[in-house]
Amino acid sequence: MKFRWVGALLLSAAAYYVYLPLPSGVSEPWKLMLLDALFRSFIRASHVAHSLGACHRVHLLNRAISWVEVTDARSSPTVHVTDSTLGAVPTRVFQPIGGAGLKRGVIYFHGGGWALCSGRMRSYDLLCRKMAEDLDAVIMSVDYRLAPEAVFPDQYHDAVAASRAFLSSEVLQRYGIDPERVCASGDSAGGNLAAAVVQELISDPTLTVNFKVQALIYPVLQALDFLTPSYQQNQDVPILYRPLMVQFWLEYLGADASLEPLLLANNHSSLDQPGISAATRSKLNWTALLPAERRKSFQQVVKETGSGGLVGKLPGLTDVRAAPLLAEQDVLRRTPKAYVMTCEFDVLRDDGLMYVRRLRDAGVSVTSDHYEDGFHGCMAFAFLPVMSSVGQRSLNNYIRWLDQNL
């Protein structure tokens, strides 16, 4: 009897820890709760280790994720998989076996807040295998350097170097890639890198081959407003909580973690910041860039006075290489056809939707693929053991768009 009571108490404690009230529209919430409980456990353990001086919190978190997820490069009867390099950047290459003629090519940048994850993780390995099979395309998944050892612009430079190599005649010929059918893609922080790389390289007259399409999956595109409607609405929705996204930005920009409360309050983008012009503010003015159904009844939070000189101390906040949403209109005008996936229950929803609007205003053809029941990272839920409806739908629609447009 005693063991039954102990078991019941443990089960109740576990259920209490796992359960999290979620918006009613979230797809299959219990699967998200279970993944979030595991992720929260890793985060809390990493913070304890960090406070004890055992290691940096990011290191422990990455080791835990790697232990669970990282897999070897294993070929199958349909896809040849190898670990290689692109522009001296580690890259996993997925080549479809068989078939005649030139292949389509995709360079892919994984997510993880510029600090976590790897293209060698099981979820990205499965994604790239499926892309290679379904598209009969060569997929190159880039392992750029990560924070805290690497900070902006290191990750950006790795992404540019890998992309230049990917577009080179040597690599295109070696892997049999059609130079007229090449794409830059990525999710979350990887979507940020893909957008920034496209903007950089599309303006480079020395390149004889350039990207024909860009495909951005719930990308993070700006760091000046952490109180957009989606940040306000979804601040407590896993797996990307509002404070966690701010922490990722601070790691990426090599800034002190003590600045987190200032960024959460939008003190860094107050009207008295001399480093933020009216033109810059207009590029992320969600009251003008978002449709009414996304603005809802949320109010814009712009402080009259804030933390003086913060933008000067963190120039990456207004650097278009870190925040592609801030690009000039003539740069956006030259970028290729775009696909932008967004999810209703994601703090980054409005980053993507504002980019859709700015691209369209620049005359770029854009497909905006929005999931009313989606959440940040949902495309990883396309595979077992956490397969969900929105995960499968988002992955299939993403691949379908590439098949029709690349």
Q: Which of 158, 187, 346, 373 does the annotation list as catalytic? A: 346
Q: Can you tell me the distance from the alpha carbon of 67 to that of 103, in angstroms, rounded to the nearest whole number?
A: 34
Q: Can you tell me the distance from the alpha carbon of 26 to that of 215, in angstroms, rounded to the nearest whole number?
A: 24
Q: Can you tell me the distance from the alpha carbon of 111 to that of 117, in angstroms, rounded to the nearest whole number?
A: 7
Q: Which of 123, 141, 188, 270 does the annotation list as catalytic? A: 188
Q: Would you say 183 and 212 are in contact if contact means Cβ atoms under 8 Å apart?
A: yes
| HSE value, Cβ hemisphere, 13 Å, CA-based, for 161 | 17
Q: Which of 118, 185, 307, 376 does the annotation list as catalytic? A: 376
Say which residue the tokens 């099981």 belong to. Answer: 122
- Is 376 annotated in the active site? yes
Per the DSSP assignment, residues forming a β-bridge with 369 are: 341
Where are the alpha helices (H) located in 23-73, listed in sequence order?
Answer: 29-51, 57-69
Say which residue the tokens 């805290």 belong to. Answer: 148
Q: Of all helices (H) and strands (E), which one includes residue 330?
A: helix 329-334
- Is 188 annotated in the active site? yes
Q: Which residues of 342-362 are buried (b: 16+ CB within 10 A; e: fewer)?
A: bbbbbbbbbbbbbbbbbbeeb
- The span from the first CA to the last CA of the chain, in angstroms, equals 64
DSSP string, 153-216: THHHHHHHHHHHHHTSHHHHHHHTEEEEEEEEEEETHHHHHHHHHHHHHTT-TT-SS--SEEEE
Say which residue the tokens 């009216």 belong to. Answer: 278
Nearest to 190 by CA among 252, 261, 265: 252
Q: How many CB atoms lie within 10 A of CB 148?
A: 13
Task: Give the torsion through C-alpha atoms of 236, 40, 188, 339, to 10 deg.
Answer: -70
Largest CA distance in the chain: 77
Instruction: Read off the tokens for 267.
Output: 């003190």
Q: Can you tell me the distance from the alpha carbon of 302 to that of 280, in angstroms, rounded to the nearest whole number?
A: 14
- Is 346 annotated in the active site? yes
**Active site residue ranges:** 188, 346, 376
